[in-house]
Copies of this chain bind each other. A is one copy, B any other.
Amino acid sequence: MLDIQRLSTTQPDFDQQLQSLTDWDDGATHGVESAVADILAAVRGQGDEALRHYSEKLDGLAVDAVSELEVDAAGCQAALEGLDAADRDALETAASRIRHYHLHQRQSDWEKTEPDGSRLGQQIRPLERVGIYVPGGKAAYPSSVLMNAIPAHVAGVDEIVMVAPAPDGHIAPMVLAAAAVAGVDRLFLLGGAQAVAALAYGTETVPAVDKIVGPGNAYVAEAKRRVFGHVGIDMVAGPSEILIVCDGQTDPEWIAMDLFSQAEHDEDARALLICPEARYLDDVQAAMERLLPEMERSEIIRASLARRGALICVRDLAEAADVANRIAPEHLELSVVEPERLAAAIHHAGAIFLGRYTPEAFGDYCAGPSHVLPTSRTARFASPLGVYDFCKTTSIVQCTAEGAGVLGPIAARLARCEGLTAHARSAEFRFDD
């Protein structure tokens, strides 16, 4: 028997149930906070020496010098060449699709010239050096290498520095191969808060970067939060989640497997299905019960569905869209007829997968957009990782003497209203009363 919560929008306490289902405490515990503060201070103060210490203590990886933790380009290329041909082909095709999608995100400088000859505009430049955190440990995620590094590469970043934990020295060859394919420039076998600290502050061996992106565990998230401001960060990621809206016409096994694909990540992962047909929810539940025993990660799936899964019955698809907007999911599958119509009612989602032939898994690996997406309702304000995360803008202002005659009096007047008379006089020098 599979344990998964059933909800209906007709329940009087639905709002409350939905709230408790989607609540996620994004704060770090005090223990994590203080451990991370210590690690950051140590790496900032003692550099390589502290990195060696934490790598040995936390990753079981003892080296004489941090330089031994670097995998050079030849090492990554060798891993790529050692791949099974079909694996390599899949990796390279995915990379090519991701690259192609992100080319559309590049932005151009613009400027406009006013009638008096003054010029206004903005110029957009890639960041010089970025750090990419690729989680590792038990599982290896070559797809995360592609999804983080390729947008940076397309943006034109000069140097992409990747870190990935290698507990006891183990790292999947496919991760190294992905680094070669994605255009990673340097790779260090470092993980945890110490890797974030090394990227943020630099050490004798690890170069300091301008921005750090990529998901990680609670220590990595807290470390990123703390170095924010000193370097840029992308976001603080929570557990992964899917919301599927189905009209009841998709094969229940397809939907069951889509829910499993989210639930198999870890026990915090959240898989939700919304449908206006209660009977269809029964069908999907039956399909899940049928399919679960044959899944390799059935225990994780079972635990995650019991803790955070739900099958939600709604009155109609319009109400489904409302609920979806309240959840603001990382991944939203619209497994319905005419999905474009329903998509038009969605305001908040990291990525929308439209139609019965578009499972989230396509987006996880190869459709094109980055799979690094805003989680835990942050799609209300945050965007998928993209080329824009690896660029920054500079405002451009250039006045002619005539233009200064237009702007000067306005600036001087407002500056005097604010009591900032040096501002006013600086403006006044540029025009004649």
Using a CB–CB cutoff of 8 Å, the interface residues on chain A facing chain B are: 26, 86-87, 90-91, 93-94, 101, 104-105, 107, 110, 112, 119-120, 122, 125, 127-128, 139-143, 174, 210-211, 225, 228-232, 235-236, 251, 253-254, 257-258, 260-261, 263-265, 295-297, 301, 339-340, 343, 346-355, 357-370, 373-374, 376, 378-384, 386, 388, 392-401, 403-404, 407-415, 417-427, 429-430
Contact = CB atoms under 8 A, between A and B. Distances in A.
Given A340-B398, A367-B399, A386-B393, 15 more contacts: A122-B384, A142-B417, A258-B426, A263-B422, A301-B422, A343-B396, A349-B394, A352-B396, A354-B397, A357-B399, A361-B423, A362-B407, A370-B395, A381-B392, A382-B392
A361 B257 contact: no
B236 A366 contact: no
A360 B403 CA distance: 14
Best-buried of A128, A358, A360, A421 by chain B (most CB within 10 Å):
A358
A160 B317 CA distance: 30
A309 to B, nearest CB: 13
Contact of A422 (B143, B264, B346, B386): B264
Q: Is the interface of A mostly helix, strand, loop or mixed?
A: mixed
B365 A411 contact: yes
Contact of A395 (B94, B107, B263, B369): B369
A270 to B, nearest CB: 15
Nearest to A231: B381
10 closest A-B pairs by beta carbon, nearest first, are A369-B395, A232-B381, A354-B398, A260-B422, A383-B393, A351-B395, A90-B413, A229-B236, A365-B411, A357-B404
Contacts of A354: 119, 396-398
B422 A357 contact: no
Contacts of A399: 355, 357-358, 362, 367
A324 B394 CA distance: 14
A262 to B, nearest CB: 8
A40 to B, nearest CB: 9
B407 A230 contact: no
A363 B424 CA distance: 12
A25 to B, nearest CB: 9
Given A301-B422, A392-B379, A392-B381, A430 B357 contact: yes
